[in-house]
Amino acid sequence: MAPESSPSASAAPGRALRLRARVRRLGRDYRYVLPGLPLGALSFAVLVALTVASLGTLIIWVGALLMPLTLLLGSAFARLSRWRLHTWGVVPAPVEYLPRGRGPIGVVRLMADPRRWLDYVFETVLAFPLRLVTFVFAVAWPVLALGLLTQWFWGRFVPAELMPQDPPGTFLTDTRVSVALGVLFLVTLPTVIRGLAWSDAFLTNALLGGETGEGPSRDDGLRRPHIGRLSPRPATTSATRWVWAVSCFVTLALLAVAWPVLATLYSVHPALAMVLALAHSAAPMVAIRWPWAGIGLSSLASLGAMLATYPVAAELPWPWPVTGIVAQCVLLVVLALRHQWYWVAGAWSAGALLTLVASVLVPTPVPGGLANGVVLVSVTAALAMLGVLERLWRQRNVRAQQAEELSAEEAQRRRDLEERNRIARELHDVVAHSMSVINVQATTAQYRKPGMDESVQQEFDDIAKSSRQALSEMRSLLAVLRSDDAAPTAPVFTLKDIPDLVESARATGATITDSIETDVPATVGPTTYRIVQEALSNALRHAPGAEIAVTAALTDDQTALLVEVVNAAPDGDSAPAPGSGLGLSGIRERVSALGGTVEVGPTADGGFRLAATLPVEDDEDAGTTGVGGQVHSPG
């Protein structure tokens, strides 16, 4: 008997697989992040050079040709950025540009395409600083990890005067501390690189694609980063994308300024200054999607900045550095443009509360602290009010446009109802009156003409019955025409009513054979009835005296109902009656509504054939779609 494997031995392959998966994921993230900087630098250099050249030569009309070329190159670089997303596993929604024409019209359309301008702004202004930041972090993080882990070795060759001696001077000289930090940097390396790649992909997809989406899965056992749900419709240029673009630019600009300001002017430790600047700058970006998270991140970053900069509060603006005031203003503007007013009020209240707490809890009053707080509260209040008013103004314009559209729809609906009432009056005055006269004449024939033969009397009774049915349907049609809200009162015919229809047609003296499948879904019953009704009317009118065959049966695969009405060549002694030519059009419309097909045309013996194929679906009210009982009537 083979010995049982220990739990540790069975778990070893699983740990190895997970380790290899993490290594592959780290390699893929690095392959996405590192090439981004050369691509961003190339697009920045080319597009900026072409932009400057086009603006400089605009006076001699050369720039009018260079700027469209610049937009085309911007779209080409944007396609490369979307290709990078594909390689990482994120599939952006397809982008549709405005169609271009030839000559001057094509140039105008190219210059008027907002989608190309958004590509140009991203590749010229945003791509290079975004990818520069991710590249620096992606390179600096492993370098710091390796440097701290090997500090015990290379620290021996560094002169003592170059090593930091002021507290905390033991930060780098203590081997245990440096090794512990090195291990921490090394362990967090996959998470940091993953976050950098995710941030780059999220912003690129939000600006260059449709709604942010998640890429397809691949058979590598790795989880894909969740960046949102992919929109099924093509990407369009909207105000949201421009908010993303502007917020991204402001975030990068604030990060580039706030970090050195906190580290140099306020003497904050570079690592802490980096964290505070990154949190404060990223708060507006986060607030676009999650307002509560943006407000919380900004409040924590502001509180941390107040505590970190308090030692130099007497010399520099405190409790709000200039970069903090700018970040708070940007946050309020984003909230005002994207969310409801109470989020703006919450963000402003959080800033005012932090100012009040900082002013009250400091042991000694800070010179200029009150003025600094007043500046923040007043400026942010003004921006918040303007932003809320602008959003309300946009909402009012949208409501006004919706009201105009609704008014136009109501006016069109009223005009349609008036036209339908006019048609209903015409039908009532012409058709209903004539049918009433026919009904009265057929009903009173036996009293006006006593002594009629029984067969003649039966003929008049059939005419009276048909006229009464026509009058009933006419009244239902008039009710529908006169009101949009009228309940459907027209009789609903099914396949079981077709034998009665055929029998009434036989009363004209025509020879008709029929084979009708009745056990089919009810959804095709009314359409089949109208098809047979119109086909019989056409055959009786255009081919008097001809034999007619009516068939309605399921196909062999039980998925469609085949309806056929075939008449032989007309009797030469009878003259055909004229028709309006609208019957076949009505049949095509009814069949098309169900997704079926219609075939009409003459037969080889001089007759005419109408064949309609109606797809059937199982219906609980109709029972099964199997072959059911058939109704046969002798010809």
- Find out whether 219 and 228 touch, Cβ atoms under 8 Å: no
Residue 226's pLDDT is what?
A: 40
Chain-centroid distance of CA 479 in Å reads 40
- Kindly state the tokens that stand for 405: 């559209």
**At 116, which amino acid appears?**
R
Q: How confident is the model at residue 368 (pLDDT cuts 50, 70, 90)?
A: confident
Q: Using CA atoms, how far apart are residues 584 and 77, in angstroms rounded to an integer?
A: 56
Q: Is the pLDDT of residue 154 over 80?
A: no
| SS3 readout for 496-512 | HHHHHHHHHHHCCCCCE
**3-state DSSP call for residue 551?**
strand
**Which long-range contacts (C-beta less than 8 Å, at least 24 apart) are formed by 618-623?**
618/521, 619/521, 619/522, 619/523, 621/522, 622/519, 622/520, 622/521, 622/522, 622/523, 623/519
Is 309 exposed, middle or buried, given 0-12, 13-18 or 19+ CB atoms closer than 10 A?
buried
Residue 11's pLDDT is what?
A: 59
Q: Mean pLDDT in the chain? A: 77
Q: Using CA atoms, how far apart are residues 308 and 122, in angstroms rounded to an integer?
A: 35
Q: Which one-letter DSSP state was computed for residue 619?
A: B
Residue 537's pLDDT is what?
A: 83
| Helix axes 341-361 and 369-427, enclosed angle (nearest 10) | 170
Q: Using CA atoms, how far apart are residues 143 and 272, in angstroms rounded to an integer?
A: 18
552: left (phi over 0), alpha (psi -120 to 50) or beta: beta
In degrees, rounded to 5, the angle at the alpha carbon of residue 218 between the alpha carbons of residues 215 and 220 is 135
Each residue's pLDDT tens digit, 49-102: 998 888 888 777 777 788 888 999 999 999 999 999 888 988 888 888 888 767
Each residue's pLDDT tens digit, 241-290: 666 677 777 777 888 888 888 888 888 887 788 888 888 888 888 888 88
Each residue's pLDDT tens digit, 341-357: 888 888 888 888 888 88
- Hey, which residues does 564 pair with through a beta bridge? 551, 611
- Kindly state the tokens that stand for 617: 């679906």
- Hey, which residues does 412 pair with through a beta bridge? none
The percent of residues in the chain predicted with pLDDT above 70, rounded, is 80
Q: Is the pLDDT of residue 441 over 80?
A: no
Residue 379's pLDDT is what?
A: 87
What is the number of other CB atoms lying within 10 angstroms of the CB of residue 545? Answer: 16
In degrees, rounded to 5, the angle at the alpha carbon of residue 612 between the alpha carbons of residues 607 and 613 is 145
For residue 615, what are the contacts with CB-CB under 8 A and spacing of at least 6? 559, 560, 594, 595, 596
Q: Using CA atoms, how far apart are residues 341 and 339, in angstroms rounded to an integer?
A: 7
**3-state DSSP call for residue 562?**
strand
How would you label 95-109 residue by residue, b for 16+ Cβ within 10 Å and e otherwise?
A: beeeeeeeeeeebeb
- Kindly state the tokens that stand for 614: 């109606």
Residue 482's pLDDT is what?
A: 66
The percent of residues in the chain predicted with pLDDT above 90, rounded, is 6
How would you label 215-240 residue by residue, b for 16+ Cβ within 10 Å and e otherwise?
A: beeeeeeeeebebeebbeeebebeee
Place of tokens 């940097």: 185
Residue 46's pLDDT is what?
A: 92
Q: What is the mean pLDDT of residues 506-534?
A: 80
Q: What is the mean pLDDT of residues 518-536?
A: 80
Each residue's pLDDT tens digit, 109-137: 788 888 888 888 889 888 888 898 889 98
Place of tokens 């100012």: 355
For residue 488, what are the contacts with CB-CB under 8 A and spacing of at least 6? 476, 480
Q: Using CA atoms, how far apart are residues 425 and 433, in angstroms rounded to an integer?
A: 11
Q: How confident is the model at residue 159 (pLDDT cuts 50, 70, 90)?
A: low
Q: Using CA atoms, how far apart are residues 581 and 602, in angstroms rounded to an integer?
A: 16
In degrees, rounded to 5, the angle at the alpha carbon of residue 612 between the alpha carbons of residues 609 and 615 is 160
Q: Using CA atoms, how far apart are residues 160 and 165, in angstroms rounded to an integer?
A: 9
Each residue's pLDDT tens digit, 195-239: 889 888 888 887 887 543 333 333 333 334 444 333 333 333 455
- Kindly state the tokens that stand for 75: 């779209």
Place of tokens 């002169």: 159
Q: Is the pLDDT of residue 3 over 60?
A: no
Q: How confident is the model at residue 12 (pLDDT cuts 50, 70, 90)?
A: low
For residue 6, what are the contacts with CB-CB under 8 A and spacing of at least 6? none
Among the listed ranges 310-314, 438-442, 498-502, which one has the minimum average pLDDT value? 438-442
Q: Using CA atoms, how far apart are residues 227 and 374, in angstroms rounded to an integer?
A: 40
- Kindly state the tokens that stand for 402: 């919706």
CA atoms within 13 A on the CB side of 94: 5
**Helices (DSSP H) in 290-368: which residue ranges?**
291-309, 322-338, 341-361
Residue 576's pLDDT is what?
A: 58
